[in-house]
Amino acid sequence: MSTLLDQQGRAAEVLRRFSRTTAAMLLLVVVAGSVALEVASSGSFLEGPSVRVFLQYLATPILIGLAQMVALCVGQLNLAVGALGGFTACLTGVLMADHGVPAVIAVLVGLLTATAVGLVTGIVIVATQINGFIVTLATMTILLGAQYRLVGTRTVDGYSPTLRDLGTAAPLDTPLVFVTAIVAAGLLGAFMYRTVAGRRLLAAGGNPLAARLSGISTDRQIVLAHTLSGLLVGVAAVTATASLPGVNHSVGGDWLLPSFAAPIIGGVALTGGSIAVFGTVLAAFVTRLIDAARAQFSLDPSWVNLLIGLVVLGTVAGGHLHQTRLAKSASSEASPQPEGAR
């Protein structure tokens, strides 16, 4: 019996801890938002087709949010998320449409290219000691040029029907691209929380000096983070190529801000050392809800950016207030009993 009580107690403790997290708050927002939209749309929001569209367009924000999160976790950032995604999508499309490369190979080339660009970015940052902001700003500009060089002003379409079918397939109203994003998030979570390499990333981001003195090469972690970020952007680009009607120079153009919004709203510290896979996914969900609400109420598109901006500010300010309160209550708990007295 006591074990049952124990288990209940532990479950209650886990629940209590969870209820204080950003993810819990976001989950609440997601549920409340969905219900509100369901009511406002008189029941059409949760019907099959509209759920499918909703999830279809959720894949990209999740993947680019995760790509940015990985860079943030070692105290870096990746301004080239959108440019790399656009370039990779165009590269894959051009290979298939203009050069007749089979879809499997084109997709693999796309993923490898994005990963390689991430790897090179990381190596340049470590080797030159130049701030990652500047290096990724430069790669962003280079990649934008490369993307334009590839496609110019035309839209590449009519490539691999198989890939397009996969990109729009949605068994049980669950689009495959969304499943891809969720699987990527799951794998990333397992990698970050459970493997040696993931932990080293977090350690190096949280306290570089202590990490070095504990036998962790911080340089390698920076390279690894950018490589992983590149790979995730590659996955985002492939899902975009598969699900969009065609690719052109504007793909990726509006990815940069959402890539920051998702992890920041999701509870990732900009200073490095923390990640929030679940939080980032939920935050992408919230931004998508705002978009859906705009469509529902036929609001002006500018409202979406305004709202997302306010949500970002609000969560950051709210999180800051929460931390300060926690710190205060912790110190008032700790100070009356110095260690010797315990």
| Residues binding other proteins (CB under 8 A) | 190, 194-197, 199-200, 202-203, 206-207, 209-217, 273-274, 330-331, 334-335, 338-340, 342
- The least distance separating other proteins from the CB of residue 195, rounded to whole angstroms, comes to 4
For residue 185, give both structure tokens: 């998030």
- The least distance separating other proteins from the CB of residue 328, rounded to whole angstroms, comes to 13
Question: How many Cα neighbours within 13 Å face the side chain of 184?
Answer: 28
| Residue 47 DSSP one-character state | S
Question: How many Cα neighbours within 13 Å face the side chain of 266?
Answer: 29
Spell out a b/e string for 222-234, using b for 16 or more CB atoms within 10 Å of the CB, else e.
bbbbbbbbbbbbb
Q: Are 277 and 21 in contact (CB under 8 A)?
A: no
- The least distance separating other proteins from the CB of residue 220, rounded to whole angstroms, comes to 9
- The least distance separating other proteins from the CB of residue 187, rounded to whole angstroms, comes to 11
**How many Cβ atoms are within 10 Å of 297's Cβ, its own excluded?**
11
Place of tokens 């279809």: 56
Q: Are 294 and 303 in contact (CB under 8 A)?
A: yes
- The least distance separating other proteins from the CB of residue 268, rounded to whole angstroms, comes to 12
- The least distance separating other proteins from the CB of residue 265, rounded to whole angstroms, comes to 19
Place of tokens 């130049």: 130
231: nearest Cα among 97, 223, 249 = 223
Smaller CB separation from other proteins, 40 or 330: 330
Report the largest interatomic distance among the alpha carbons of the chain, rounded to a whole angstrom: 76
Smaller CB separation from other proteins, 160 or 221: 221
CA separation (Å) from 87 to 82, 146, 155, 230, 236? 8, 7, 13, 12, 12
Smaller CB separation from other proteins, 43 or 340: 340
With H, G, I as helix, E, B as strand and everything else as coil, classify residue 247: strand
User: What is the rounded (10 degree) CA torsion for 226, 232, 236, 241?
Assistant: 90
- The least distance separating other proteins from the CB of residue 326, rounded to whole angstroms, comes to 10
Smaller CB separation from other proteins, 52 or 199: 199
- The least distance separating other proteins from the CB of residue 8, rounded to whole angstroms, comes to 17
d(CA 227, CA 192): 14
